[in-house]
Amino acid sequence: MSNFVEGAQVVTRPLLKIDNLSKSFTGVQALSGVSLQIKSGEIRALLGENGAGKSTLIKVLTGVYPRDGGDILLDGNAINAADSGHAQRLGISTVYQEVNLIPTLSVMENLTLQHQEKVFGLISWKKAEIRAKALLAQVGLDIDPLRQLDTYSIAIQQLVAIARALSTQAKMLILDEPTASLDSDEIKQLFDLMRRLKAEGMGIIFVTHFLDQVYSITDSITVLRNGECIGTFNTAELTRSDLVSHMVGKSLEELAPSAHDHSIQRERKALLALNNVGKQRYLQPLNLSIAAGDIVGVAGLLGSGRTELCELAYGSVKPDQGEIRLGKHSLTKFSLRRAIQVGMGYCPEDRKQDGIVAELSVRENMILALQASRGWWSPISLSDQQGLVEDMIQRLAIKTPDMDKPIGELSGGNQQKVILARWLITHPALLILDEPTRGIDIGAHHDIIQIIKELCEQGMGLLVASSELEELVMFAHRVVVMKDHHKVSELLGEDISEQAILRTIAS
């Protein structure tokens, strides 16, 4: 790793120095010994996959979470922010992905919310307006500060958020995925502003998932993975494929061809067929077919369209073009309930929001999908429920004291198994799993991979989206590679390797 920049900057004192920072949440080490330095006038990309520790780092930096250990130095002074307001007064301002302003207040009120201009102890709206205009001018905006914020586009709101972040003589600006909801013109506007701030000597941390943007705006890149700092690199000296392999934790050279048997069963008829299925501003049209006993993996970086593909295939988001067929049924016009009745199943990525019903019991959560497909008037008797649930608890080795415990009290891995069991009970022909192993412990991780393989042997078709390439290579017969919301390639049989997937993502 010759392209470390740390050693090169002994002369100038860094603007921000993070030394050996650690943070853990009940047993999970979210950050371990992270160190990095940023000069003034430097734009630093902070990259990493989900769960790498980016947002934890930002939250520890701005005092949202207290740290377990380590030092943060701003301009050479050790700082210890108590909350984000305090951090802002110290000189570190943050703009979050979801605009963190109050939509029903005016632009001016939003800009002066934390600090009002006062005359004799009363707010002077005249002064506030002048100040708001000055702040807006700083980010190159010429809008009416008296208008309500939500009458402006998201892009303008984002710039207003930055204006507010700059209102307190910030030395460091943290932009957490500011471009996620912007179009290309708006991004250009944002980048112009970033360059201007850079010229004024501001240090900027830029979090994004778009590699193109990383290469067009940043000076250097810090990669986090599993809470550890993998390294800091000069953007100009780091190739894309090296960057991707740092992010996912595999270097292309290290990867030996996989020994897994990827025998392709071409002759079998398609179970699920997506013909030119797409949706505007969501997913570019694509084709995909899955036969019974096939495991098709979906690879790609975060935000590449993995989840979008799963949602469209399942039908929870309706495509605006193309046709989805499952066996002899055309699913395009089906309600979810009908789709489930003819054999669809879906374990969503966000287990907490979309999967579990936390206050209901393990038993109720498990039978929910089957019961929903039967309808409310045709209840599954309690003894049948207990039989089904007991069976699944045994088969999937779910650890719960009893089946009437609220599912919210179980560990993540066991919750995931219950959700999996919810679908297995319905005997689906095709099961879609979005990140089935996210955020669960190693034991449960192993169990779930085993279950996936067994299901495939029993003739179920599986569509599995995952950010863990190792996992996909282990079980997938085919891998669909997604990038920027379209399918870039489909790897088959012998061609499936982590190396090949990485190369396709980076290309």
Residues 6+ apart with CB under 8 A from 426: 340, 345, 369, 370, 373
Classify burial at 302, counting beta carbons within 10 Å of its beta carbon; exposed 0-12, middle 13-18, buried 19 or more.
Answer: middle
Q: Does the footprint of another protein cover residue 120 (CB under 8 A)?
A: no
Scanning 57-65, 123-131, 334-342, 490-498 for contacts with another protein by CB under 8 A, the matching segment is 334-342
* x-marked contacts with another protein along 370-389 as a string, rule CB under 8 A: -xxxxxxxxxx---------
Binding of another protein by 103 (CB under 8 A): no
**How many residues are present in the chain?**
507
Longest dimension (CA), the chain: 84
Question: Which span sits near another protein by CB under 8 A: 217-225, 228-236, 320-328, 335-343?
Answer: 335-343
153 near another protein, judged by CB under 8 A: no
Write down the least CB distance from residue 398 to another protein, Å: 18
- For the chain, the 3-state helix, strand and coil shares in percent, each to the nearest 5, are 35, 25, 40
Quick check: 356 binds another protein (CB under 8 A)?
yes
The rounded distance, in Å, linking the Cα atoms of 34 and 205 is: 15
Among 230, 270, 336, 506, binds another protein (CB under 8 A): 336
Which of 113, 358, 395, 459 lies at the binding interface for another protein (CB under 8 A)?
358
Reduced to 3 states (helix: H, G, I; strand: E, B; else coil), residue 210 is coil
Strand order in the sheet with 92-95: 92-95, 172-176, 203-207, 43-47, 220-225, 228-234
Q: Taking CB under 8 A as the rule, does residue 317 contact another protein?
A: no
Note whether 481 and 504 are within 8 A (CB): yes
CB of 110 to another protein, least distance (A): 24
Q: Interface mask (CB under 8 A) for another protein, residues 401-430, using x and -? A: ---------------------x--------
Interface with another protein, residue 337, by CB under 8 A: yes
Nearest approach in angstroms of CB 301 to another protein is: 25
Q: Which stretch binds another protein (CB under 8 A): 20-28, 188-196, 221-229, 348-356?
A: 348-356
- Contact between 342 and another protein by CB under 8 A: the answer reads no
Burial 108-138 (b: 16+ CB within 10 A, else e): bbbbbeeeeeeeeeeeebeebbebbbebbeb
Query: Shortest Cβ distance from residue 370 to another protein (Å)?
Result: 9
* Nearest distance, CB of residue 372 and another protein, angstroms: 4
Question: How many residues make contact with another protein (CB under 8 A)?
Answer: 30
The DSSP letter of residue 504 is H
Question: Amino acid letter at 401?
Answer: P
Binding residues for another protein, per CB under 8 A? 316, 335-337, 339-340, 346, 348, 353-360, 364, 368-369, 371-380, 422
